[in-house]
């Protein structure tokens, strides 16, 4: 881009003007500006503008002709389904993140314990759920949970446990969507925690062993403090992603039975796109913003601290 | 280990202690393998069951036999799907979208990451942080305003953006570019400043520094970012579900769900086959480039 401008300059017309242009084009800040311009445009037009526009959208009535202020929000507050969605979103996100973190932590330790040459193979196998596109693996789970042909129920039947209505009963359906989320997300935690475990210097464990620390003390006073940063960041990231999750609930239960498993994203889709009430859908999805902001502030604090440590 | 056991055989108190330690270690190892196997079974059960079901005929699926065993394996489901115009269209759309999005992502994020990591300019720090924050804005917050924006654009210019597969080329970069830029900033920042100073002294301009020095040196990061962009584009579900509807415009995840599930009739053999084939490209990439894939995953947090 820069070269083209320079090569074009010897042609006729205002030689001084060309020179000025040429100097500007060669300035470092100009080049940097041009290099980041596509990025800035993309973010501004397709992320920031829609995000702000959704606030505007949320204040309009269904046909988007009249300004209703907080009317949509007040309408939501009066609906029982809305409070159910709030509750379910929180239960879904928090429970799933806790179990993902626990399983990820345990599995990372197990992989870390076995001899180094076998670790790669195990790590590779255990990350598979994260690699499969969620829409595809959710279909497999939907089939495993099938009301009449459930293969899990077939196994449970062998040990004498009665058929479970995985997606049919509200409580089980809530359990199922969390289970699938944990299944997809736990490998990610495992990978992050494993990377963190590898970064703990071996000498610390040796020193702890000399001091006579047992495994619990080594975990409590060496491993956890060294991993705390990555654990927090991973959990925050996951909380954001889980809170805004769409695929799993949409495919497994589509919000049912009777809206019991809807989270913000799926309900916003139901109300906004399928129900044709875009402003109300926008209002629903805006309720994700507070928790996202809190998580973002914590992450940002960490990013800044790291940035200042680096420089 | 046997040698250790033999040598401790003759030893006294100290030897006994060593032996019990090695025995403890061995038991710990056995338990580790046992637990890992159980987790592996849990993690691999759904893909395995996809494979099992995909090899069955509809008759065998609806017969109440052992669901975990294939009595009469057949590749009929695969042949039928690979011969169906519809499924191939989805596959083509997905491939086209993912590959073009990868190209767009790289063209936007690599120069931007270079500028942000090396050319300090007014607002560069704010912009770098902003890029990172964008990554935290989920698509589930944006699809409704985008839907309305597209409708408004159609109203004013007559350009139809809804139900066109290529509109995904505009949308997917919002998911891939921020993260790719962020990890490329990390990789570029790890290149020693002396290298580009030397190149500048030799009279290289910024474009040459980027293409001749930075891209070759940060190639592992570039591969990790490419893999990330591809897998995200391939797996994206919400945008195509919201913005495309007719069969010839759909991408794979939405296509399988909307076309293979007809009303309440589920042809599970075909659905599982379609899902398995749809999961294949990311799985194949992962199998061959696992280290880059994992590097990309962990870079997000260790660099952020």
Is position A114 within any domain? yes
Give the pLDDT confidence score for residue A143 in this predicted structure. Answer: 87
* Residue A24 pLDDT: 65
For chain B, give every domain's residue range.
2-48, 77-302
CB within 8 Å: A265 and B138: yes
Residue A98 located in a structural domain: yes
Q: How far apart are CA A108 and CA A230, in angstroms?
A: 13
Query: In terms of domains, do A143 and A292 share one?
Result: yes
CB contact under 8 A, A114 and B121: no
Clarify whether residues A139 and A206 are in a common domain: yes
pLDDT of residue B17 exceeding 60: no
DSSP at B246 = S
Do A121 and A36 belong together in one domain? no
Residues of chain A with pLDDT under 50: 1-12, 310-311
Q: pLDDT value at position A96? A: 92
Q: For the residues of chain A, what is the DSSP string, one character each?
A: -HHHHHHHTTSSS-HHHHHHHHHHHHSHHHHHHHHHHHHHHHHIIIIIHHHHHHHHHTTB-TTS-SB-TTHHHHHHHT-HHHHHHHHHHHHHHHHHHHHHHHHHHHHHHHHHHS-HHHHHHHHHHHTHHHHS-HHHHHHHHHHHT-TTT-HHHHHHHHTTPPP--TTTSHHHHHHHHHHHHHHHHHHHHHHHHHHHHHTS-HHHHHHHHHTT--HHHHIIIIIHHHHHHHHHHHHHHHHHHHHT--HHHHHHTTT-STTTT--HHHHHHIIIIISS-HHHHHHHHHTTHHHHHHHHHHHHHHHHHHHHHH-
CA distance A15 to chain B (A): 23
Q: Do A237 and A298 reside in the same domain of the chain?
A: yes
A39 and B112 within 8 Å at the Cβ level: the answer is yes
A7 and A140, same domain (yes or no): no
In contact, B105 and A268? CB cutoff 8 Å: no
Q: What's the pLDDT score for residue A309?
A: 55
The residue among A1 and B185 whose pLDDT is bigger is: B185
Q: How far apart are CA A211 and CA A209, in angstroms?
A: 5
Residue B265's pLDDT is what?
A: 66
Mean pLDDT of B140-155: 87
Q: Where are the alpha helices (DSSP H) in chain B?
A: 2-10, 13-54, 58-62, 76-82, 85-118, 124-136, 139-157, 168-189, 193-201, 206-208, 215-217, 219-235, 238-243, 252-255, 268-288, 290-302
Q: For B30-79, how does the pLDDT look when each residue is reduced to its tens digit (9 = 90+)?
A: 888 888 889 899 999 999 999 988 888 877 777 777 778 887 888 888 88
Q: Using one digit for the tens of pLDDT, what is the confidence trace for A84-143? A: 888 888 889 889 999 999 999 989 888 888 887 888 888 888 889 998 999 899 989 988
Residues A114 and A232 grouped into a single domain: yes
Q: At residue B10, does pLDDT exceed 70?
A: no
Residue of A nearest to B177 (CA): A39
Task: Round to whole Å and give the CA distance between A247 and A137.
Answer: 10
Predicted local distance difference test score (pLDDT) of residue A14: 59
Nearest CA in chain B to A143: B268
pLDDT per position as a tens digit, B189-246: 888 888 888 888 888 888 888 888 888 888 888 998 899 899 999 999 989 988 888 8
Same domain, A31 and A134: no
The answer to whether B51 and B75 are in contact (CB under 8 A) is no
Q: CATH no. for residue A187?
A: 1.10.3720.10
Residue A99 lies in a domain: yes
Q: What's the pLDDT at B82?
A: 85
In this structure, the answer to whether residues A30 and A86 fall within a common structural domain is: no
Residue of B nearest to A182 (CA): B43
Q: How far apart are CA A193 and CA A210, in angstroms?
A: 25
Residues A126 and A250 in one domain: yes
Lowest mean pLDDT among A175-179, B4-8, B94-98: B4-8
CB of B280 less than 8 A from some CB of A: no
Report ipTM (2 d.p.).
Answer: 0.82
Is A150 found in the same domain as A39? no
Residue A117 lies in a domain: yes
Question: What is the predicted pLDDT for the residue at A260?
Answer: 82
Q: Name the residue facing B257 among A38, A135, A233 (closest C-beta).
A: A135
- Beta carbons of A36 and B279 less than 8 Å apart: no
Kindly state whether residues A101 and A26 are assigned to the same domain. no
What's the Rg (C-alpha) of chain B? 26
Residue A135 lies in a domain: yes
Q: How many domains, in total, are found in chain A? A: 2
B2 touches chain A (CB under 8 A): no
Judge whether A154 lies within some domain.
Answer: yes
Residue A179's pLDDT is 92
Question: What's the N-to-C CA distance of chain A in angstroms?
Answer: 32
A136, A153, A294: best to mutate for the B interface, most B CBs within 10 A: A136
Which residue in A has a C-alpha nearest to residue B107's C-alpha? Answer: A38
Across the A:B interface, residue pairs with CB atoms under 8 Å apart total 282
Q: Is residue A66 part of a domain?
A: no
* pLDDT interval class at B263 (50, 70, 90): low
Which class is B77-302 in CATH?
mainly alpha
Cβ–Cβ below 8 Å for A139 and B256: yes
- Please give the pLDDT value at position A239: 85
**Whether residue B13 has pLDDT greater than 50:** no
- Distance from first CA to last CA of chain B, Å, rounded? 43
Domain, as residue range, for A238: 74-310
Strand partners, B265: B262
Does residue A97 sit within a domain? yes
CA distance B237 to chain A (A): 7
CA-CA distance, B184 to B296, in Å (whole number)?
10
Does the pLDDT value for residue B2 go beyond 70? Answer: no
CB atoms < 10 A from the CB of A228, how many? 11
CA of A278 vs chain B CAs: smallest distance (Å): 6
Distance, CA of B175 to CA of B134 (rounded, Å): 9
């Amino acid at each position: 881009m820069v070269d083209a401008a320079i090569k074009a300059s010897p042609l006729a017309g205002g030689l001084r003007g060309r020179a000025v242009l040429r100097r500007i084009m060669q300035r470092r800040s100009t080049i940097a500006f041009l290099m980041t311009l596509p990025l800035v445009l993309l973010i501004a037009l397709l992320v920031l503008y829609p995000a702000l526009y959704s606030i505007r959208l949320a204040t309009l009535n269904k046909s988007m002709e009249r300004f209703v202020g907080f009317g949509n929000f007040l309408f939501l507050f009066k609906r029982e389904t809305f409070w159910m969605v709030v509750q379910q979103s929180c239960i879904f996100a928090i429970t799933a993140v806790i179990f993902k973190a626990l399983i990820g932590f345990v599995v990372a330790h197990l992989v870390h314990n076995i001899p180094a040459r076998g670790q790669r193979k195990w790590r590779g196998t255990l990350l598979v759920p994260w690699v499969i596109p969620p829409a595809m693996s959710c279909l497999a789970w939907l089939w495993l949970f099938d009301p009449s042909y459930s293969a899990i129920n077939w196994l449970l039947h062998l040990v004498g446990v009665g058929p479970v209505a995985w997606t049919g009963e509200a409580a089980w359906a809530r359990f199922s969507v969390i289970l699938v989320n944990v299944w997809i997300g736990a490998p990610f935690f495992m990978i992050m925690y494993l990377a963190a475990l590898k970064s703990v210097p071996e000498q610390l464990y040796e020193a702890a062993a000399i001091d006579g620390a047992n495994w619990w003390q080594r975990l409590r006073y060496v491993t956890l403090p060294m991993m705390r940063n990555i654990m927090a960041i991973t959990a925050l990231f996951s909380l954001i992603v889980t809170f805004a999750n769409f695929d799993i609930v949409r495919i497994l239960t589509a919000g049912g039975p009777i809206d019991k498993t809807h989270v913000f994203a799926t309900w916003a889709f139901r109300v906004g796109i399928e129900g044709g009430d875009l402003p109300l859908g926008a209002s629903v999805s805006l309720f994700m913003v507070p928790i996202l902001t809190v998580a973002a502030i914590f992450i940002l604090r960490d990013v800044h601290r790291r940035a200042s440590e680096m420089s | 280990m046997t040698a250790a056991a033999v040598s401790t055989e003759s030893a006294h108190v100290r030897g006994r202690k060593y032996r019990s330690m090695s025995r403890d270690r061995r038991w710990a190892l056995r338990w580790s393998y046992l637990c890992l196997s159980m987790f592996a079974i849990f993690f691999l059960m759904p893909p395995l069951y996809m494979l099992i079901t995909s090899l069955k005929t509809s008759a065998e699926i609806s017969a109440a036999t052992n669901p975990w065993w294939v009595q009469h394996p057949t590749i009929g489901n695969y042949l039928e799907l690979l011969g169906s115009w519809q499924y191939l269209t989805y596959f083509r759309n997905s491939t086209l979208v993912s590959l073009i999005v990868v190209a767009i992502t790289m063209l936007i994020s690599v120069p931007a990451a270079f500028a942000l990591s090396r050319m300090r300019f007014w607002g560069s720090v704010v912009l770098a942080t902003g890029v990172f924050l964008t990554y935290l804005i989920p698509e589930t917050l944006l699809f409704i305003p985008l839907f309305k924006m597209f409708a408004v654009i159609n109203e004013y210019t007559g350009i139809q953006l809804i139900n066109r597969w290529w509109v995904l080329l505009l949308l997917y970069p919002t998911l891939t570019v921020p993260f790719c830029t962020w990890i490329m900033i990390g990789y570029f920042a790890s290149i020693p400043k002396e290298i580009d100073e030397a190149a500048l002294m030799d009279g290289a301009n910024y474009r040459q520094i980027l293409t001749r020095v930075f891209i070759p040196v940060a190639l592992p990061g570039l591969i990790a970012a490419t893999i990330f962009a591809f897998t995200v584009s391939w797996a994206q579900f919400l945008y195509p579900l919201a913005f495309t509807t007719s069969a010839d415009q759909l991408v794979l995840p939405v296509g399988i769900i909307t076309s293979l599930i007809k009303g309440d009739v589920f042809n599970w053999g075909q659905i599982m086959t379609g899902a398995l084939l749809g999961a294949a490209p990311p799985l194949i990439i992962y199998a061959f480039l696992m280290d880059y894939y994992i590097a990309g995953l962990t870079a997000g947090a260790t660099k952020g």
